[in-house]
Amino acid sequence: MNKLVIGSVMCGTSCFGWMGLFYLSNYLLTRYFRAKKWNISMHHTMNMSEAIVSSIQAFVSTVCGFVVVIACRHDVMRAAHSLASWYAWIAGSYFIYDIIAMYKVLIYRDGTGDFFVGCFYCVELSGPFTNMRVVLSRLGLKTTRWYAINGILMIITFALCRVVIFPYMYFAYGTQFGMDIFQVMKKIPLHCNLGSLMVLLPQIHWLRLMVLGALKISRGASLTDADEKID
């Protein structure tokens, strides 16, 4: 049996495993909340179940990473470890599970929160500009006006739709119910605050890299491939 077949079996099996963990977490949390007589909605319970599975995946991935790093540190280019390849199949299956789990969060939100779903859809606005930068770069147009204009639009859209949009959602919620941002943070579930923070921090990092790249160009220097590699 070749590696592709084995990997496909691992991917399919682990996908069922991730889903199993999700449903198990959801079942246990639901029973616990009922026993405590806490009024937690199905939507929030599924959010927490998804967070639990995500945390497990993060832990397993980190352990695998440490094992591979320790085993390969003597030759960072040529040393190999089978776990590096095999866990990729399991990690890939996690993303399949994640899509399914996110769909079920959407289904059980009782028709509320479309405003926030729409906000998360808007984060992709910067995508065309980040991709166009790669296209212009590959065409050898880094020094043209088009590259500069695209870069400015990329920074503006990224800043607005991937960074500013998070405090804006808190502000919009607070405005409707007469609360400031800090009161909103106290009111909404902790996992929502933590989830937003975990998403926001990488965006701030990437925005910083974009701004540094723009400053570098303004000083007449050219960007390296590493400078441009921002997803």
Average pLDDT, whole number, for the chain? 81
- Please give the DSSP secondary-structure letter assigned to residue 212: H
Distance CA(196)–CA(99), nearest Å, equals 18
SS3 228: helix
CA dihedral 183, 186, 189, 191 (to 10 degrees): 110
Model confidence at 225: pLDDT above 60: no
Per-residue pLDDT of 96-151, as tens digits, reads 777 777 666 766 556 566 677 677 778 778 888 888 887 787 777 888 888 889 99
Question: Tokens for 87?
Answer: 């866990």
In terms of Cα–Cα distance, which of 121, 124, 151 is closest to 136?
151
Give yes or no for a contact between 166 and 196, defined as CB atoms under 8 angstroms apart.
Answer: yes
SS3 10: helix
Kindly tell me the sign of the dihedral angle through the C-alpha atoms of 132, 133, 134, 136.
positive
Confidence of residue 231 (pLDDT cuts 50, 70, 90): very low
Q: What percent of the chain has pLDDT over 90?
A: 8
Flag whether the pTM goes above 0.85.
no
Model confidence at 227: pLDDT above 60: no
75 versus 112: the higher-pLDDT residue is 75
Q: Which residue type occupies 112?
A: T
Confidence of residue 78 (pLDDT cuts 50, 70, 90): confident
Burial class (CB in 10 A: 0-12, 13-18, 19+), 224: exposed
